[in-house]
Structure 1
């Protein structure tokens, strides 16, 4: 580390020199760090390479899930969705007890009961959790992906944001193979309910059963709207919308 004493005080990086200010004085140091080539080839960095490989795999798996769910993700997500999914996928990857270190993967982890449980209940929008909004029982038919409600009273069984006049419910049935990255998703009808004390029994039926290998994920979407002059508008740019993985099989 060297201290500069010239008239011109520089801050920033020029080639391999970094100029910075500390405690009112100006210093310069040579850029450090370990060469990328060494990290990729030096036997001493084998653990670093293993960790990097699994980190990259976990991040890719989160992106695969987001893409597979489709357009619903854009209606209910927060700014940290990618990092939260990365953390969840990393935990699922750690449940792979058959692959060597550096090769552990989400496909093997999600095949375990613990892996499925780790993904069950995941909220794509961390500002709106299903368990803090919906207070009504529902029935899931895991063969068809149908979600049914009986005598649902919107004004009493939803914690809805101020200004909302209507609630929309929709189901999604996703088949996803994390190993092949092949997926298929089907969506249900949308049940639009006024927020009042009138009971209703909406049934959300996906258009079909998705095919393929992998795991089956069942999702529930809840959206809030405000009606003005007979037109419904998304409330607060969909900030309060919910997308939750209610089951993983």
Structure 2
């Protein structure tokens, strides 16, 4: 695979060469490879089919997770969140120690503590990771989903983008069963603060504890705003907002 520079925006296949556009520019690669029919039917590609099947399941699990958290992710994600999450979940399914090869899946992988550890800490916006935005300690009550940030001084304990005048905090407590795709998402109150030197204890309490037969996901969101004439506007459409999976049980 190679990048190319051209006066013309060429996309598609010309002879044995394919041109396409990626997020980082224009690319060119040579056409070729094994035919789809051979991969699907040739006994020599059995392992490949198994890998493709498991990867497909991981991708589907990623879609289920993203949809379950869609209301929180709308303004707190990057353009590559789908591929990044699928990559992590493909590693999680490797922790499935009960299913046969080709049948391993994320739901069984998350039963294993090592599988949970791989997903815990995932940032839905890689351009604004929570640990680089919020530089102070907080506590999580896993029974209720409540998060408390004691004595937060925004202009000292946060890394905030230029132009931001206010910051909001919220929490999501999700129970999600990937096997059945059933979910229960409970959201907390939103605490909005001016970015100044005043210490404030931030308490975020979901309306109820999420229930169900799946895993419990706890996410913490930080969103930035700019106040103009008494109205707060999302800063650059949420490009600097952070959303992290802070715990997974």
Counterpart-to-counterpart distance in 2, 1:198 and 1:19: 64
Aligned pairs for 1:1-40 (under 5 A) are: 18=15, 33-40=33-40
> 1:195 corresponds to which residue?
195
> 2:176 corresponds to which residue?
176
- Deviation by residue 1:31-83 (Cα, 9 ceiling, x = unmatched): 86544333222222211110110111111111111001121111101111111
Aligned pairs for 1:139-178 (under 5 A) are: 139-178=139-178
Unaligned runs of 5+ in 1: 1-11, 21-30
1:74 and 2:64 are equivalent in the alignment: no
Counterpart-to-counterpart distance in 1, 2:168 and 2:226: 11
Give 3-state SS (helix, strand or coil) of 1:150's partner: strand
Q: TM-score, normalised by structure 2?
A: 0.86
> 1:129 corresponds to which residue?
129
Counterpart-to-counterpart distance in 2, 1:233 and 1:70: 20
> 1:91 corresponds to which residue?
91
Between 1:238-247 and 1:42-51, the stretch displaced more is: 42-51
Counterpart-to-counterpart distance in 2, 1:138 and 1:241: 18
Unaligned runs of 5+ in 2: 1-11, 18-30
> 1:7 corresponds to which residue?
none
Q: Are the equivalent residues in 1 in contact too, given 2:16–2:32 (CA < 8 A)?
A: no
Q: Cα RMSD over matched residues? A: 1.6
- Deviation by residue 1:4-38 (Cα, 9 ceiling, x = unmatched): xxxxxxxx869xxx377xxxxxxxxxx86544333
Displacement of 1:138: 1.0
1:244 and 2:241 are equivalent in the alignment: no
Displacement of 1:129: 0.6
Shift in CA distance, 19/47, structure 1 to aligned 2, threshold 3 Å: closer
Q: Are the equivalent residues in 1 in contact too, given 2:59–2:86 (CA < 8 A)?
A: yes
Displacement of 1:216: 0.3
Give 3-state SS (helix, strand or coil) of 1:65's partner: helix
Shift in CA distance, 32/75, structure 1 to aligned 2, threshold 3 Å: closer
Q: Are the equivalent residues in 1 in contact too, given 2:92–2:115 (CA < 8 A)?
A: yes
Shift in CA distance, 96/128, structure 1 to aligned 2, threshold 3 Å: same
Select the structure of larger CA radius of gyration.
1
Aligned pairs for 1:201-212 (under 5 A) are: 201-212=201-212
Displacement of 1:139: 1.1
Shift in CA distance, 57/164, structure 1 to aligned 2, threshold 3 Å: same
